[in-house]
Every structure is written in structure tokens, then in C-alpha cells.
């Protein structure tokens, strides 16, 4: 079977191939749910033409091409190029194409042919290793809970919720004090006492220890403020097993109506602190940007991907450790995707949610928010200047 992924402007000549175009691929729309007739790793050939030059979602398309292609099959790419590197070029160039290819596939897919005719480069790759490790299955999960022993009742509640999912193969790893003297056999305690260098919370080291001890490739890292709905695992099975890192909805636990930092981006601007309104992104569920940010409190990720980079062990809680991890995962070839077919809930003791207004009340709410923003910005400047003046006396 051959699957063609062509720009929609290309005229399709009758063939036995299955034809897809750029509208079939979006990181916020699970591919295999939207294409139930296509099975993972079933195609002998995947042929891409006219899309990689301009798509915003190059890495996602490459990941899905990989997921469609069987081991031993060929990935063929026709790529229109006028230069090796950038310079007055409105399209992606060869160097950046190969960058995404190489960090996405590493050495699972090898280049066996590279021919150029005019401005068209024809690349042929052979897939030599399967997309996922052999033991990876949607029926096997490791849940890693970061705890400090102060919310043992919540940890016990999380354990009970996970047990009710009836996942065929699962384990729960708690990094921190045991929440009870009587725990099920599937709960593993990993000590964290040796991880403390000073009084800061070594959250990165704690999560790394969970990664190191996880048995299964489907890995969830979560804080003890989260909880699950009863159908969480059932809905994850609908999504399927082909993802790198997956974001889902995060809702407030009280009303389950408010989003709590569940689908975010960042400006990557080191000078954001100088601005009244720093540009952090709360994305709509149909938006994706390359400078994505995963909520560090709840992360669904493949173990074989995160263990390549892990978290920076020198970054502690509230030291931008999650943003640092996101950038290093991105640099290693990971592609974040979104699945809105399920959710988790979180306490909002640190993050507040306001009541939603409508009509004129909504406008008044926005204006009030802007006024507080500007007032707070200049008030803090005033306070800082006064602090400096006191310091000189």
C-alpha cells in the first residue's frame, strides 16, 4: 500500500495510492481518530510532495509519516529547493528540512538515495526500526507521582482512581514519603532524601528518579494536586499509542469549567520582564506554535524520549525547570500534540480562576483587568525605586 501526502494544489492522477493533503495533518487533531481506515505502520511507501517546503507543522507530518510507514518500507520525499541555506527564500530550505528529518527520526530511518533534477530533490529513506519500542503498548502505563508527604489523602485518592481504570499492565511510582503503611503491590516508593542539596525542593531530581525507575514506556509525571475522571483510560485508548508527548485538558477541580494552564506557549523572550504584559500564550484548542510549553504538573510522555534528555538536575521547583525541559525536548526532535477527548482536574490553590461574564459585564471585566495590570506594573516600579532610596541612607 502507498500513501501520498501531497499539497492540495497538485493535480492527482488516477492511481491506487491513498491520497492525503495538508488539511489531514494538524497537531491538535489526532490523526488516527480522524482516519480510522488507516492503521499504524501499515504502508509500504509514504510519498510526500509539495508540503514540507511551506507547512508550519513539518515535524508533525514527519511523525505521522513515520507512524504510517511499516518497518522495511520507504519514505520518499520530493522537495523543491533553490538553495542550501536561507537567503531571500520564501520556502523552507534543504538544511532546515534535513534538520527536522534527522532529529525526528535519528537512526531509525536511513537515507538510501539522494538525487536532484533541476530544483527538485528526490530523497528515499528506508525505515529500519519500528516507530515505538517493541514493548510499548497502550495497555501498559507507569504513573509517577511527585509528593512531599503533605497531601497523603490526595495521593491515596489518585492511587484508587488509577486502580479503577483496570489497565492490564500498570505501576504507580511515588517519589517521596509513602502515603500509607499499607499500599498495593503495584505501588513503588522511591526515596528522595538523598536528592536534597539545600532547602530548595529538588523537583527535577525527583522526576528524573521516577523516569529512571519507570517500567513502562507510556509515562505520566504528575503532582499530587491532580485527579482523574473515571473514563480517562478508556478515552486514552481511543486516542491510541502513537504520540511523543501529549497534552490534554486540565480543568479546575471544583467546577470543571475553567482551563488551568493546559495548552500553552511561550514567547521565548528573555526581556519579557520589561513589558507590562509579557507575551505568554494561552492557546485555543485549534492552535499550535513551535515554542510550546507543557504543564510540568501533568505530563504524558514516552519514557524512551524523555530519558534522552531528562530534567536539568540543577533546577529546583519554581526555577523554570519545566520550560527548560520543553526547549530541550524540542531540540531533541519531540513533537507535542493535543488531545481534547479527555481531561484531568487540578486543585487551584496557587492558580485562581475568575467568574466568566457576558456582554457588558465581560467588557467591564476586561477593562478592570487591564487597569489592574497597568496600575500594578507602575506601582511596583515605584516601590522598587523607594527600596533603592532607602538602601542609600
Going along the chain from its start, the domains and CATH numbers come out as 2-127 (3.40.50.150), 140-346 (3.90.550.10)
Given this model, what pLDDT does residue 358 score?
A: 66
Mark residue 166 as left, alpha or beta (left: phi above 0; alpha: psi -120 to 50; beta: remaining). left
What's the pLDDT tens digit per position in 1-42? 999 999 999 988 777 899 999 999 999 999 999 999 999 999
Q: Is the pLDDT of residue 350 over 60?
A: no
Q: Minimum mean pLDDT among 52-56, 142-146, 352-356: which range?
A: 352-356
Given this model, what pLDDT does residue 287 score?
A: 94
Specify whether the CB–CB gap between 10 and 220 falls below 8 A: no
Q: Is the pLDDT of residue 271 over 60?
A: yes
Query: What average pLDDT does this structure show over 304-312?
Result: 97
Query: Which cell goes with 346?
Result: 487540578
For the entire predicted model, the pTM comes to: 0.90
Specify whether the CB–CB gap between 27 and 60 falls below 8 A: yes
Per-residue confidence at 353, pLDDT binned at 50, 70, 90? low
User: DSSP secondary structure string, 259-284?
Assistant: B-S-SEE----TTGGGSSS---EE--
What's the pLDDT tens digit per position in 91-134? 899 999 999 999 999 999 999 999 999 989 999 999 999 999 99
**Residue 363 DSSP SS3:** helix
Q: What is the mean pLDDT of the chain?
A: 91
Specify whether the CB–CB gap between 44 and 2 falls below 8 A: yes
Amino acid at each position: 500500500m502507498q500513501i501520498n501526502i501531497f499539497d492540495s494544489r497538485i493535480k492527482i492522477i488516477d492511481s491506487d495510492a491513498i491520497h492525503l493533503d495538508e488539511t489531514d495533518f494538524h497537531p491538535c487533531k489526532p490523526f488516527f481518530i480522524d482516519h480510522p481506515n488507516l492503521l499504524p505502520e501499515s504502508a509500504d511507501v509514504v510519498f510526500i510532495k509539495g508540503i514540507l517546503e511551506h507547512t508550519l507543522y513539518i515535524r508533525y507530518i514527519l511523525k505521522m509519516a513515520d507512524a504510517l510507514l511499516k518497518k522495511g518500507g520507504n519514505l520518499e520525499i520530493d522537495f523543491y529547493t533553490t538553495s542550501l541555506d536561507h537567503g531571500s527564500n520564501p520556502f523552507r530550505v534543504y538544511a532546515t528540512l534535513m534538520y527536522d528529518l534527522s532529529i525526528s527520526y535519528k537512526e531509525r530511518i536511513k537515507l538510501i538515495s539522494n538525487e536532484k533534477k533541476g530544483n527538485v530533490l528526490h530523497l528515499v529513506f528506508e525505515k529500519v526500526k519500528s516507530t515505538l519500542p517493541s514493548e510499548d503498548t497502550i495497555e501498559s502505563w507507569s504513573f509517577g507521582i511527585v509528593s512531599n508527604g503533605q497531601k497523603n489523602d490526595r495521593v491515596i485518592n489518585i492511587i484508587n482512581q488509577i486502580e479503577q481504570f483496570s489497565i492490564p499492565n500498570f505501576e504507580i511510582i511515588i517519589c517521596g514519603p509513602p502515603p500509607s503503611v499499607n499500599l498495593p503491590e503495584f505501588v513503588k516508593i522511591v526515596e528522595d532524601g538523598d536528592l536534597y542539596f539545600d532547602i530548595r525542593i529538588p523537583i527535577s531530581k525527583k522526576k528524573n528518579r521516577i523516569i529512571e525507575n519507570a517500567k513502562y514506556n507510556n509515562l505520566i509525571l504528575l503532582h499530587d494536586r491532580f485527579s482523574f475522571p473515571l473514563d480517562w483510560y478508556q478515552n486514552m485508548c481511543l486516542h491510541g499509542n502513537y504520540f511523543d508527548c501529549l497534552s490534554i485538558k486540565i480543568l479546575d477541580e471544583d467546577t470543571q469549567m475553567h482551563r488551568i494552564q493546559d495548552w500553552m506557549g511561550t514567547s521565548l523572550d528573555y526581556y519579557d520582564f520589561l513589558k507590562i504584559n509579557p507575551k505568554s500564550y494561552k492557546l485555543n484548542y485549534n492552535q499550535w506554535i513551535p515554542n510550546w510549553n507543557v504543564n510540568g504538573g501533568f505530563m504524558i510522555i514516552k519514557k524512551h524520549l524523555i530519558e534522552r534528555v531528562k530534567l536539568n538536575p540543577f533546577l529546583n521547583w519554581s526555577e523554570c525547570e519545566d520550560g527548560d525541559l520543553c526547549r530541550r525536548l524540542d531540540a531533541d526532535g519531540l513533537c507535542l500534540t493535543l488531545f481534547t477527548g479527555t481531561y484531568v482536574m487540578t486543585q487551584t490553590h496557587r492558580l485562581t480562576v475568575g467568574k466568566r461574564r457576558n456582554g457588558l459585564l465581560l467588557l467591564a471585566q476586561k477593562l478592570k483587568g487591564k487597569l489592574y495590570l497597568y496600575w500594578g506594573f507602575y506601582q511596583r516600579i515605584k516601590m522598587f525605586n523607594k527600596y533603592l532610596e532607602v538602601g542609600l541612607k
